[in-house]
Amino acid sequence: MSNLITYGAPTPDLSRLDRFLAVRALTERLAAPLSPEDQTVQSMPDASPAKWHLAHTTWFFETFVLRTHSPSYRAFDPAYEYLFNSYYEAVGPRHPRPQRGMITRPGVEEILAYRRQVTEAMVGLIDRGNDQCAALVELGLHHEQQHQELLLMDIKHLLSLNPLKPVYAPRRDGGDDETPGGPLSWVEFDSGLTSIGHDSKDFAFDNEGPRHRVWIEPFTLATRLVTCAEYAAFIEEDGYRRPEFWLSAGWDCASQRGWEAPLYWQRDGGRWSVFTLGGLQPLRDDEPVCHVSGYEAAAFAKWAGKRLPRESEWEVAAADVPLTGNMLDSGRLHPAPASGRGLRQMIGDVWEWTASPYVAYPGYREPPGAIGEYNGKFMANQMVLRGGCAATPADHIRTTYRNFFPLDARWMFGGIRLAEDLR
Amino acid sequence: MSNLITYGAPTPDLSRLDRFLAVRALTERLAAPLSPEDQTVQSMPDASPAKWHLAHTTWFFETFVLRTHSPSYRAFDPAYEYLFNSYYEAVGPRHPRPQRGMITRPGVEEILAYRRQVTEAMVGLIDRGNDQCAALVELGLHHEQQHQELLLMDIKHLLSLNPLKPVYAPRRDGGDDETPGGPLSWVEFDSGLTSIGHDSKDFAFDNEGPRHRVWIEPFTLATRLVTCAEYAAFIEEDGYRRPEFWLSAGWDCASQRGWEAPLYWQRDGGRWSVFTLGGLQPLRDDEPVCHVSGYEAAAFAKWAGKRLPRESEWEVAAADVPLTGNMLDSGRLHPAPASGRGLRQMIGDVWEWTASPYVAYPGYREPPGAIGEYNGKFMANQMVLRGGCAATPADHIRTTYRNFFPLDARWMFGGIRLAEDLR
Amino acid sequence: MSNLITYGAPTPDLSRLDRFLAVRALTERLAAPLSPEDQTVQSMPDASPAKWHLAHTTWFFETFVLRTHSPSYRAFDPAYEYLFNSYYEAVGPRHPRPQRGMITRPGVEEILAYRRQVTEAMVGLIDRGNDQCAALVELGLHHEQQHQELLLMDIKHLLSLNPLKPVYAPRRDGGDDETPGGPLSWVEFDSGLTSIGHDSKDFAFDNEGPRHRVWIEPFTLATRLVTCAEYAAFIEEDGYRRPEFWLSAGWDCASQRGWEAPLYWQRDGGRWSVFTLGGLQPLRDDEPVCHVSGYEAAAFAKWAGKRLPRESEWEVAAADVPLTGNMLDSGRLHPAPASGRGLRQMIGDVWEWTASPYVAYPGYREPPGAIGEYNGKFMANQMVLRGGCAATPADHIRTTYRNFFPLDARWMFGGIRLAEDLR
Amino acid sequence: MSNLITYGAPTPDLSRLDRFLAVRALTERLAAPLSPEDQTVQSMPDASPAKWHLAHTTWFFETFVLRTHSPSYRAFDPAYEYLFNSYYEAVGPRHPRPQRGMITRPGVEEILAYRRQVTEAMVGLIDRGNDQCAALVELGLHHEQQHQELLLMDIKHLLSLNPLKPVYAPRRDGGDDETPGGPLSWVEFDSGLTSIGHDSKDFAFDNEGPRHRVWIEPFTLATRLVTCAEYAAFIEEDGYRRPEFWLSAGWDCASQRGWEAPLYWQRDGGRWSVFTLGGLQPLRDDEPVCHVSGYEAAAFAKWAGKRLPRESEWEVAAADVPLTGNMLDSGRLHPAPASGRGLRQMIGDVWEWTASPYVAYPGYREPPGAIGEYNGKFMANQMVLRGGCAATPADHIRTTYRNFFPLDARWMFGGIRLAEDLR
């Protein structure tokens, strides 16, 4: 068992300090199976090198917390301010994103030393109980958890480009207790005026609020995710060759990029295999389809005679769902077949594409300062995805959580749940 | 006066036949000032040659009406079915859009003959009172009116690329009765559950319905459009060089394309000039700013400390506004300064960028058949614009009308009206 | 016969004035079958609109002759200096080449008027016998003859993009006197020190001189051009799918552009057709293959176990060949099968790709002034082609003539003659 | 001194086995200062990761020698045949060049193990004195030496992209014995029929032969290379802004890429610095200019009123020059100022751009088999460079050696020597 990563189960009653240390340590455990070579390369402009994630999450604490609230703190290396800024224009100039993979130095060892210095300084600060920056520390931890998932997405993409199809971590299946979810069934929801969005005192990102009223028309929601077998039927029925199912931009995108199946699927003779963080695996029929773009999700739904849920519908349906599921702490690192009864797989497994573009909620205001760049400026040409995935830290998800990606993105763990109007 | 185009005032009580003939004739009048050379060239992939518009609007009637409902009709040229199909996959293969400008033959004369044959056949059909296709004819006329506006947008773009800055039609100003609208004022709107969308028996595009309930938070709306003087102040205050005002994708877009002002603005010494369908003109301070992208509209609004209205807000505000304004029939072909009092310029002048992505209304279903491709498949990565512009035929607008363009589009007549949350 | 173009047979004893008028008139006859629409469009960045050729050849006389040597001459339109400059940096700024197709105004009629004014002014100048500029006029006429061929190449490319496959001029075949040339035979040439390049007092372009010594190794040259049947055999033997025949850059180019046959060939069922200036025609086996790139020419030669000739070899072989062949004046506008005996088709039919990059001859110096930009600055990444083609004016060719194109160019009339080392 | 690389002085009397071991060991010493991170990244499509060079040079011996001539040899990993094939189509499919940087596994350690296995197997083979493959082994060693230089070029490019400007190896200067070469002087050469090309029994690449006669016109050659001070004067006189000096394609290239100085030059305030393998250094006036493209070399020569030498001229001039100079074994890794008298710097310092396109010599035939792909298929759109550079192994150069790069390449050590016609 010593070569298995422990991904850390969330314990809500951790002290602030312990939680800080747990999040920091998990990032390093996620990078541990990767060689310095693996941690250095950027596989595409949208992805970042693993060691960049290690450094950037550290830069966040150094820049936004230590520099302001810890007067005696001395920067590890002044050049890092430039090198590891992601997109905060207010902080100053930054290294261009598509060039992140060119930064072979500092190497992994130096970045781990950087992490140690910042973690130690942060421990001192948290010990001193500086309440002023507690919110910033909390934000920094959620930021780091986002990058934990990004690190896994990015490294999966990189390894997939290697003809040797390397294994990041041996696959862990759920074992005998998994029984396929059976045929698709539906839950109905009534119309009415309701509210969505975050409003408690617990942490949430700015884009989850303010809580506000929305009118919901009656709808039904599938009780489980679309499976690989169902998606394969779409492929068999020429789903990728029939424009009538596709958004016009989706049709162009799929044609230009030669898409014929989800990302990471490959046909070996008459059978499908799928590249996973556990290496190349035979496709399992009852697993949720994953790594589809929003265009493919929409085309599948139209082929199926259904539609994607709106984010308000999803949130209404999720209101009573427990915050548990197949997430990072399961160590599976891959979506799992549905099991049990009722509305399942809402949390974990795959991020569920919605029909809702990512826009500000009524009354939304960006926070002041550099932190204001966190979410608002990305509200263009992206769609909302909901529910977390098998690579999301378990204590990082909320039913109000709004993830967002462009319609053509496939490298995150994105999947499909169907919905339909009720008349 | 003989060299002036008459753009046709709408008379709501026209017979169906007279309305058909009036729309067809106006298209030809709009092309009349253009040489065969002008009518042939495609200035960019998004634009089409003027003679393509003449042919495609005719193809629509031939393909969707005559072929089905007029058994004795013989196609003008079977090749046209391929050449002048815009994007209807269900009709069959089509000439690639970016290649429309390569089709020098058929020439303008042949296309006018094509128009005459189809118009005559349609007159026979309408005379016979075929009720089955009355809805299709109506759709065909609204389709042709859309292309009347596109023809003007496209020809403006083409002529703007000519260093000689040619005049499409001599500029007609409004004369002495125009008095500047004064400082910006605001109208307030209460919160509440209301309905938007089309529901009468009159014609509307499928995307305008179904009428459905929405909750509105309290807001205010500017009583007039943003002027060129106001937009010039944004430029003077380095609006194009300060990322804090911009959506991230907008900042990248503006940087890559080197935007420093609206499309068609050029600085001559210390003054701005603007290219219009009446040639190059000194910029007029009190005119609405026009030919800005959605990115620029959003950046301006943020600089101004306001925001863009949602489409539901705009529609609620427009409910009581008369359907009159500076539209194609004024012959001005350019937005005009605000005059009068109260909520002005809602109809005509410029299409107003909203903060609402273009998505299906709850309960929306695409019509069956090829006509179903009219709107639904474009619901991705576009924003809604409202209210019509100076190039829109006056009887073509409705307060429920949803125009849509990508955030980076600038060649349509797009402008800005500000809104703000009310607390 | 009245609808046939007369392409003008060269009469060497024409007076300077008559020759001037004959060249100018031929350009206009070449444009006559084209509508204003045809004359306006630019089909790709390498090509120019027909009316641009009409204007630019006129601009040459206006700019380099009239402006300097005719003090009373008044420019037709000062803007034309900018609009119709091709690449002469010394003359001042110019309209970007890829934007030539955007200039719908001036139209064809205005450009013909421009031609008339400049022609008349030139007639006056030539009448006055201004010897100072005789060389410039001569250069201007050869320049215009180059553009006559370019006009035909460019219009062929444009018309080929039209699915209607329009006819520029009805095809004229050579009739009964054409007998196929039989199997390929070879002429041998000895080694020795010889000279190539222009050195008489007759006109030649600067790049044809100075005449200089070269050492020639023994070689043989095919007595005729490679035929379509021979090239089809290369295709049948998977020539386009076997990298061993190709230059590395040629393989990449052909793969990326999806080349599977010469430009303008298309397979209709089991047979090849070829687009010509006379429309789409069945491919004729004994015609020379045409519209191949230098990459294809080199791959074919390697497949055939031969090589392309060097330009020095070609010129040595051509020394005793009469300057006659299938050129523009035949009106055929397409290469013709070989007939007769001995070394044939050296002049006319197709430009023959050589193995020689286009570089300066030893001792070459660019002429002073703007005219110096005529040739020298293009001596990079181009290959020499020799011998003229079916679209070359008959009095425009010389055995020292060096045409040049990049290896990937296919829209000129380029073909293949094989050579081989003799040991 | 222990942290200095020993680059190995050539000893011509080495046994074949010792030479084999020396070359192999030097490759590993060149990689030694690089971290696994440094060795993994590909900085641009033209470059390769350092560890790819280590593997590919090993693949060459495994594929072309061991697999054929050592029946008992078992491949280290069958996947490497695909992963580390550079461009040999005859060997089978290969990993796409621009994707070389994605192969993070095998890591540096595994590739060193691969090197050890192949080196050992080769030692056995050479010990057995297998004469059949002696020529292949020799080719393999020269191939590896080429990659030693490529490794240095590529790693220099990669490190230059790092804002930290890392040092590959501390700079070693020549010390006190270097005295600037003084003003430019010239050597004259007579016209005549002579021969160039390789013809001895010693190793040479196929493209260096056959030896053949060429006629040379009288010319002069500069006795030393163009210096940084001279090149800086070209920049000061607006060399990069005056099109009259440039080839047309060069002007477009420089404009599009924003070139304003040689690669690796940067202006720090009023002074130039230059990035070297020893880090960022102040520019030294008397050093040869380096990392210029062929376009810049040609533009500089034209500005200077001279021209670049033809490769035949260079070879004639180099005939009597000793094969010594500032090469890899000096450890300087950077061109050095001229010292001494007469014709200097012909060997080493910088590869000298010639005016000669890279084409086959008369009588050239590609060797049969995969080895035939070594040189011939690259004879398109490249220019010949002569004389070796500061990164070339000293026993790898010959006066007949023909290096070749496209005109726009700057990352190799390319510099300028002027020539002129003699009348």
Amino acid code (one letter) for B63: T
**Residue to substitute from B34, B77, B97, B102, interface C, most C β-carbons within 10 A:** B102
Mean pLDDT across the stretch B252-265? 98
**DSSP three-state, residue A221:** strand
How far out from the chain centre does Cα C341 lie? 25
The answer to whether B163 contacts C82, with C-beta atoms less than 8 Å apart, is yes
CA distance B290 to chain C (A): 23
What pLDDT is stored for residue B180 in this prediction?
A: 58
> Please, which pLDDT band fits residue C183 given cuts at 50, 70 and 90?
confident
pLDDT at C3 over 50: no
> Considering CB atoms only, which of A217, A359, A407 is closest to B363?
A217
Separation between Cα atoms, residue C214 and residue C193, nearest integer Å: 6
What pLDDT is stored for residue B236 in this prediction?
A: 97
The answer to whether B37 contacts C79, with C-beta atoms less than 8 Å apart, is no
What pLDDT is stored for residue D5 in this prediction?
A: 56
pLDDT at A369 over 90: no
> Considering CB atoms only, which of B35, B95, B102 is closest to C158?
B102
Q: Helices B16-31 and B108-127, interaxial angle, to 10°?
A: 170
pLDDT at D223 over 80: yes
Question: Contact, D240 vs D254, CB < 8 A?
Answer: yes
Backbone phi, psi, residue C264, to 5°: 80, -5
**Residue to substitute from D38, D52, D77, D104, interface A, most A β-carbons within 10 A:** D104
Separation between Cα atoms, residue B135 and residue B139, nearest integer Å: 6
What pLDDT is stored for residue D370 in this prediction?
A: 77
**DSSP three-state, residue A90:** helix
What pLDDT is stored for residue C5 in this prediction?
A: 56
In this structure, the strands spanning C403-405 and C192-196 are unpaired
What pLDDT is stored for residue C367 in this prediction?
A: 86
> Considering CB atoms only, which of A214, A246, A407 is closest to B215?
A214
pLDDT at A12 over 70: no
pLDDT tens digits along C123-174: 999 988 767 789 999 999 999 999 999 999 999 999 999 999 999 999 876 5
Separation between Cα atoms, residue A6 and residue A12, nearest integer Å: 18
Amino acid code (one letter) for B17: L
Mean pLDDT across the stretch B37-53? 97
Instruction: Report ipTM for this prediction.
Output: 0.95
What pLDDT is stored for residue A175 in this prediction?
A: 53
> Considering CB atoms only, which of C363, C380, C421 is closest to D250?
C380
Chains touching D, CB cut-off 8 Å, 3+ pairs: A, C
Partners of residue B103 in chain C, C-beta under 8 Å: 162
What pLDDT is stored for residue D8 in this prediction?
A: 59
pLDDT tens digits along A314-361: 999 999 899 999 999 999 999 999 998 899 999 999 999 999 999 999
- Which class for C183: exposed (0-12), middle (13-18), buried (19 or more C-beta within 10 A)? exposed
Mean pLDDT of chain C: 93
**Residue to substitute from A34, A35, A37, interface D, most D β-carbons within 10 A:** A37
Residue of C nearest to B108 (CA): C37
pLDDT tens digits along C303-326: 999 999 999 999 999 998 999 999
What pLDDT is stored for residue A78 in this prediction?
A: 94
> Please, which pLDDT band fits residue B5 given cuts at 50, 70 and 90?
low
Under CATH, which architecture does the C186-421 domain have?
Alpha-Beta Complex (3.90)
What pLDDT is stored for residue B370 in this prediction?
A: 77
pLDDT at D218 over 70: yes
**CB neighbours of B12 closer than 8 A, spacing ≥ 6?**
B395
Angle at A312 between CA A306 and CA A314, to 5 degrees: 60
Whether there are 3 or more C-beta pairs closer than 8 Å between A and B is yes
pLDDT tens digits along D93-150: 888 999 999 999 999 999 999 999 999 999 999 988 767 789 999 999 999 999 999 9
Domains in chain B: boundaries: 16-160, 186-421
> Considering CB atoms only, which of B102, B158, B159 is closest to C41?
B102
Residue of C nearest to D247 (CA): C377
Helix (H) or strand (E) holding B137: helix B134-160
What pLDDT is stored for residue C8 in this prediction?
A: 59
Residue of C nearest to D381 (CA): C381
**Residue to substitute from C34, C35, C37, interface B, most B β-carbons within 10 A:** C37
Mean pLDDT across the stretch B163-173? 90
Tell me the CA distances in angstroms from B362 to A25, A308, B196, B310, one per residue in order. Answer: 46, 12, 11, 16
Mean pLDDT across the stretch C216-233? 98
pLDDT tens digits along B318-368: 998 999 999 999 999 999 999 988 999 999 999 999 999 999 999 999 888
> Please, which pLDDT band fits residue C374 given cuts at 50, 70 and 90?
confident
Peptide bond into C367 cis (omega under 30): no
**CB neighbours of D74 closer than 8 A, spacing ≥ 6?**
none
pLDDT tens digits along A184-193: 899 999 999 9
Separation between Cα atoms, residue C403 and residue C394, nearest integer Å: 15
What pLDDT is stored for residue A417 in this prediction?
A: 98
Could you tell me which residues of chain A have a Cβ less than 8 Å from any Cβ in chain B? 87, 89-90, 193, 212-215, 217, 243-244, 246-251, 295, 310, 355-357, 359-360, 362-363, 377-381, 407, 421
What pLDDT is stored for residue C43 in this prediction?
A: 97
> Please, which pLDDT band fits residue D181 given cuts at 50, 70 and 90?
low
> Please, which pLDDT band fits residue C200 given cuts at 50, 70 and 90?
confident
Residue of A nearest to D78 (CA): A164
Chains touching C, CB cut-off 8 Å, 3+ pairs: B, D
Q: Quick one: CA dihedral B57, B63, B64, B66, positive or negative?
A: positive
Mean pLDDT across the stretch C290-294? 98
CA distance B40 to chain C (A): 6
Identify which has the larger pLDDT, C66 or C4. C66
The answer to whether A101 contacts D103, with C-beta atoms less than 8 Å apart, is no
Peptide bond into B210 cis (omega under 30): yes
Tell me the CA distances in angstroms from B386 to A30, B193, B355, C26, one per residue in order. Answer: 49, 21, 11, 55
Which of A209, A194, A222 has its CA nearest to residue A308? A222
**Residue to substitute from A76, A94, A104, A111, interface D, most D β-carbons within 10 A:** A104
Mean pLDDT across the stretch A395-417? 97
pLDDT tens digits along D325-351: 999 999 999 999 999 889 999 999 999
Percentage, residues of chain C above pLDDT 90:
83
**Residue to substitute from D34, D102, D161, interface A, most A β-carbons within 10 A:** D102
pLDDT tens digits along A148-203: 999 999 999 999 999 999 999 998 765 544 555 568 899 999 999 999 999 988 99
Partners of residue A355 in chain B, C-beta under 8 Å: 359-360
Residue of A nearest to D42 (CA): A102
In this structure, the strands spanning C186-189 and C219-222 are antiparallel
> Considering CB atoms only, which of C83, C95, C102 is closest to B41?
C102
Which of D166, D150, D301, D173 has its CA nearest to residue D234? D301
Partners of residue B101 in chain C, C-beta under 8 Å: 41, 101
Mean pLDDT of chain A: 93
> Please, which pLDDT band fits residue D192 given cuts at 50, 70 and 90?
very high
Residue of D nearest to A108 (CA): D37
Structure tokens at D388: 């070796």
> Considering CB atoms only, which of C87, C251, C359 is closest to D355?
C359
CA distance C366 to chain D (A): 11
> Considering CB atoms only, which of B37, B40, B101 is closest to C105?
B37
pLDDT tens digits along B92-132: 888 899 999 999 999 999 999 999 999 999 999 998 876 77
Half-sphere exposure (CA, 13 Å, Cβ side) for C203?
Answer: 15
pLDDT at B175 over 60: no
Partners of residue A95 in chain D, C-beta under 8 Å: 163
Partners of residue D371 in chain C, C-beta under 8 Å: none
Question: Contact, A209 vs A364, CB < 8 A?
Answer: yes
Q: Residue D399 carries which DSSP code?
A: T
pLDDT tens digits along A204-238: 999 999 999 999 999 999 999 999 999 999 999 99
Separation between Cα atoms, residue B312 and residue B323, nearest integer Å: 18
CA distance B324 to chain C (A): 35
Enumerate the H helices of C161-189 as residue ranges: none
Whether there are 3 or more C-beta pairs closer than 8 Å between C and B is yes
Identify which has the larger pLDDT, C361 or A90. C361
Indicate the range of A243-257, B7-21, B203-217, C324-338 predicted with least confidence: B7-21
Whether there are 3 or more C-beta pairs closer than 8 Å between D and B is no
Q: Quick one: CA dihedral A379, A383, A386, A389, positive or negative?
A: negative
Separation between Cα atoms, residue A35 and residue D109, nearest integer Å: 11
Identify which has the larger pLDDT, D128 or C191. C191
Structure tokens at C154: 């460019």
Q: Starting at the edge strand that comes first in sequence, how are the strands of the sheet with B271-276 ordered?
A: B265-268, B271-276, B279-282
Separation between Cα atoms, residue C372 and residue D271, nearest integer Å: 36
The answer to whether C363 contacts D217, with C-beta atoms less than 8 Å apart, is yes
**DSSP three-state, residue C209:** coil
> Considering CB atoms only, which of D104, D158, D164 is closest to A79?
D164
Separation between Cα atoms, residue B422 and residue B49, nearest integer Å: 46
DSSP string, B69-101: H-TT---S-TTHHHHT--S-GGG-----GGGGG
What pLDDT is stored for residue C2 in this prediction?
A: 36
**pTM of model > 0.90:** yes
What pLDDT is stored for residue A270 in this prediction?
A: 87
**CB neighbours of B265 closer than 8 A, spacing ≥ 6?**
B272, B273, B274, B283, B291
Structure tokens at A58: 């550290």
Structure tokens at D259: 């070139």
CA distance B170 to chain C (A): 17
Mean pLDDT across the stretch D81-90? 89
> Considering CB atoms only, which of D37, D82, D108 is closest to A104?
D37
